[in-house]
Amino acid sequence: MSFLEPVPISGITPYIAPAEPREAWLALAAGIEPELAQYFLVTARCGCFMQAARSLNIKSTLLRKQLAHLEEQLRRSLFSFQGSALSLSREGQQLKAQLIALAHERTLPVLEQPLLRLAVAESILHDILGRDLISLLRRNASVRLEIISIDSELSLRALSADVVVWLGGVDSPKPGPSFVTSPPQPLVRLDYLPHIAKRYSRVAARPDSLDDLADYMLVQWQQDRQVEPLRPWNQLVEQRLAGVVQVHSYELMLEMIRCSACIGLLPHYMSRFDRGLTALPGLFDEAMPRQVWMAVNTEVEHDAEVRMLVELILHTFNERSEWFE
């Protein structure tokens, strides 16, 4: 049956004309608007309204409404359901073949999406923004998004992007991107603390002084090695003659803390991100703060797609505001 029976979208049961020669109604295919023809062909290819809508970057309700209009225009049922599977009716298959044949005579539009380039500090991408970016891709299968992981000050200076989210000083965004941007916007302040897995440290026996760390393996992410605000921790690691491991992967550092009884330096929100980890405050007299900054390339700052990406980032940080208290 057609998805118009009973009618869940338009509220009007379309009139299905008496049988007429196939050539007569298929001749109407040449008059179908190119965009509407594209909607039909993508839906036919995907066999799913939701996936077709994602591919076309439109809402599923709008797609179904447009296809209902097409069925009314042709006075034919183009789709049928077999269980929960969407398939083409006999008339739908005929229309598909006709439109494909016409495509050799006219070019159906390709709904091109602009390329968005997002550069993000690796730890922020992993801990904070990754989940919402995945949700964006689930909603929009046609988006063209390049995600650049910032893993060093050198890579930050060398990159080119539309939106940049990086870690800088509390009072200054430096070091920042080398291209011209809008005024950098401070998002949140992060205080860095040593962390340990709860499973490897009972509350009563957790280290509460630097001397107590002598019995633990320390793990350092190499990207943090030259970061000035993290100097107290870096000096401690450099003085170690044993019981220290240097890693170049942020995820590997997290796994070593989780699974190898290591102590590593992490942002203070980490116990919210992973409740199996706990911070060890009070070990250092000196605080180790950093600031998350965001800036937009001035060449594209007014583009709708760029503004959408900026709003997504701001929403993500606002939604997790309790993490940073």
pLDDT digits (tens, 9 = 90+) for 224-243: 998 999 999 999 999 999 99
Is 9 within a domain? no
Host domain of residue 311: 115-185+290-324
* 160 and 210 belong to one structural domain: no
* 281 and 196 belong to one structural domain: yes
DSSP state of 109: P
Residues 6-35: what's their mean pLDDT?
A: 57
* 123 and 50 belong to one structural domain: no
How high is the pLDDT of residue 3? 43
* 209 and 261 belong to one structural domain: yes
Give the closest residue to 90 by CA, choosing from 26, 179, 9: 26
Is 316 within a domain? yes
The b-or-e profile of 95-116 (16+ CB within 10 A means b, else e) is bbebbeeeeeeeeeeeeeeeeb
φ/ψ of residue 251, rounded to 5: -65, -40
Last residue of a domain, one of 75, 103, 131: 103
Is 69 within a domain? yes
* 178 and 204 belong to one structural domain: no
pLDDT in tens, 177-200: 888 999 999 999 999 999 999 988
- Give the number of domains in the chain: 3
pLDDT in tens, 122-146: 999 999 999 999 888 877 767 788 9
Last residue of a domain, one of 81, 103, 125: 103
The b-or-e profile of 283-320 (16+ CB within 10 A means b, else e) is bbeeebbbbbbbbbbeebeeeebbeebbebbeebbeeb
* 131 and 89 belong to one structural domain: no
* 88 and 33 belong to one structural domain: yes
How high is the pLDDT of residue 16? 45
Is 17 within a domain? no
How high is the pLDDT of residue 60? 86
* 152 and 232 belong to one structural domain: no
User: If pLDDT is split at 50, 70 and 90, which confidence band does 73 have?
Assistant: confident
Residues 306-322: what's their mean pLDDT?
A: 94
* 294 and 172 belong to one structural domain: yes
* 121 and 268 belong to one structural domain: no
* 272 and 294 belong to one structural domain: no
Question: How many other C-beta atoms are found inside a 10 Å radius of the C-beta of residue 273?
Answer: 15
CATH code for the domain of 74: 1.10.10.10
* 200 and 164 belong to one structural domain: no
Is 248 within a domain? yes
- Mean pLDDT over the full length of the chain: 84
DSSP state of 89: -
